[in-house]
A and B are shown apart, each in its own frame.
Chain A
């Protein structure tokens, strides 16, 4: 699935249709082109619709909210008085996504480089296959596996981090318990966004014009020097875009996080202590037991998530668009 636009010539249009069937053909053309254009407009309508409906349905709950929506961590929308705020959700979402990025982006770049410039054909096919399979695993299975297999195996690592790097707040753990924490969620998210980061970086890496690669090799560069001189500078916008798209996916991931976290509503910088919550996970967990105001509050949180992922995705696309224009001019 490519995201980078390729410059191709637009297909031609028919010069003249046979005069005998002319009217029927023109009608058919109009219907069909209208239909396809309607489909295109439908896409825009859906995007606008999401924003609109979420906003409209969130407003009643926001109006009865007595707590500060942005800075409060409490989540009791169905109480009287209703109090709810997204601070803890935002914290958990951002923290777990950042961890995911820190882990997945370098590995993703490495895999992309391996596929584009390092691996022999046969190994590249196998590696690409592995990454594709990883991308195909449904998120609920990631959640199950994260709990059952990964979590126990992180205790040793988290304990070690606490022992040796515990003076840094995010590594500190005062409870001696390491289950269902934001750090675990971050690790699971990292594995989930790895295919995204590597696929998009790979696309830009293979688009480097061979002329520049030859130029650096002819100067006597080793393979890494060639990558550093010719591939990476050319690919920087695409690499940033890949990281941001990975971030976008991590921000919106719902089920794996919902299963892995134990959904508490507090801001705890000790990321290996149990607890934490994210926008998406909270909605999935609380929606069916929520009253009308509760649902409204969740819809409001969903709106924030929508805007956040929208912004990240748009910025990421703009990076690639600039690259396309640049290489087109070249």
Chain B
């Protein structure tokens, strides 16, 4: 077994080996950059926390890249630079989220309380503190509830059509295309549609029901997409075994396919509901806002959490703004809870 002359100076050795930055290199660069930035800021005519952070980041990127260039060569230096940039994109996403949650919690807690949740704004003047969002919570539950009762079945039916009946057909092609397009409809346009179609043309009253209908339009495309995905995951063998037993198609869908995909469909429904819970714009056009509790979505104005917030901001008084923040806290709690529940459910019960 003849070995060719190998050794630290042979060209093969040179080709194969490459410098490598030690594992602690990024941390050293980071620490050094922070210290250098703080020092430089003290000396330069610039000051401010943001400037320090930006300077530290620039120093970090520069020093790490230069060090890598010297030790590892151009290709690896570029690779490291890109990796750093990509991770910083992740950090950039984190900052606003933390800022939003922190702000809402801090400002919302000022007025947030059990009283706040259980009382309406009846007889409470905008100038004075007091009052609560009870009527808005009721309104939200009812309006969103009606939208869900209408939107979930329609969305599921469309998805069933696309997956079970429509494969390859022209109509299905157009339906799926426009469902996709519908996900991009501005929410205010959905409100305008209900307004022009039902309220102006048909003369309906502006009630919680019309508000709910505008939300349904926003809900349908989201529902269709997620249900469609879940139905596609159901293996064909399941359908085939049902047909082989003589079960007709519609019963197969209702009793076999849908139940198999059910947890995923429920997840999608919850996410769609979470989305419309936070909608304001269409409701501004299709509902009047009330200060009192109104349990009937078919007569008289109602309030929902988002429109309540909008209204309070419009009033502008410090007391109103406090209420707006507390209502925002309430809203975000509901939305985040729905989202978390939906995703947990999706994780736990996956279609196998």
Contacts and interface: CB of A to CB of B under 8 A. Distances in A.
B246 A16 contact: yes
Interface string B182-213: 11111111101100110011000000000000
Interface string A144-183: 1100111001001100000000000000000000000000
Given A14-B249, A37-B171, A141-B328, A3 B225 contact: yes
Given A14-B243, A36-B165, A114-B86, 12 more contacts: A11-B167, A13-B249, A14-B246, A47-B181, A54-B193, A111-B89, A131-B93, A136-B275, A141-B104, A255-B306, A309-B185, A313-B183
A138 B280 contact: yes
A259 B339 contact: no
Most buried by A among B163, B189, B225, B229: B189
Interface of B: 48, 50, 75-76, 78-79, 82-83, 85-90, 92-94, 96-97, 99-100, 103-104, 107, 154, 157-158, 160-168, 171-172, 174-190, 192-193, 196-197, 200-201, 217, 220-222, 224-226, 229, 232, 236, 239-240, 242-244, 246-254, 271, 274-275, 277-281, 284-285, 306, 309-310, 313, 324-325, 328, 331-332, 335-336, 339, 343
Given A50-B189, A132-B339, A309 B184 contact: yes
Contacts of B339: 132-133, 136
B200 A57 contact: yes
B175 A44 contact: yes
A39 to B, nearest CB: 4
A284 B174 contact: no
A39 B247 CA distance: 24
A284 B75 contact: no
7 tightest A-B CB contacts, nearest first:
A138-B278, A252-B186, A110-B89, A10-B167, A32-B250, A36-B161, A39-B157
Nearest to B247: A14
Contacts of B284: 284, 287-288
- Max chain B C-beta neighbours (<10 A), residue from A6, A10, A225, A306: A10
A227 B86 CA distance: 12
A145 B158 CA distance: 37
A249 B157 contact: no
B161 A37 contact: yes
Main secondary structure of the interface of B (DSSP, over half): helix
B100 A145 contact: yes
Interface residues on A, range: 35 or more
Contact of A248 (B83, B184, B196, B313): B184
A217 interface: no
Nearest to B75: A222
Contact of A312 (B184, B187, B285): B184
A139 to B, nearest CB: 7
B152 to A, nearest CB: 12
Greatest chain B CB density within 10 A among A15, A16, A114 is at: A114
Contacts of B281: 139, 254-255, 258, 280, 283-284
Contacts of B197: 49, 53
B85 A252 contact: no
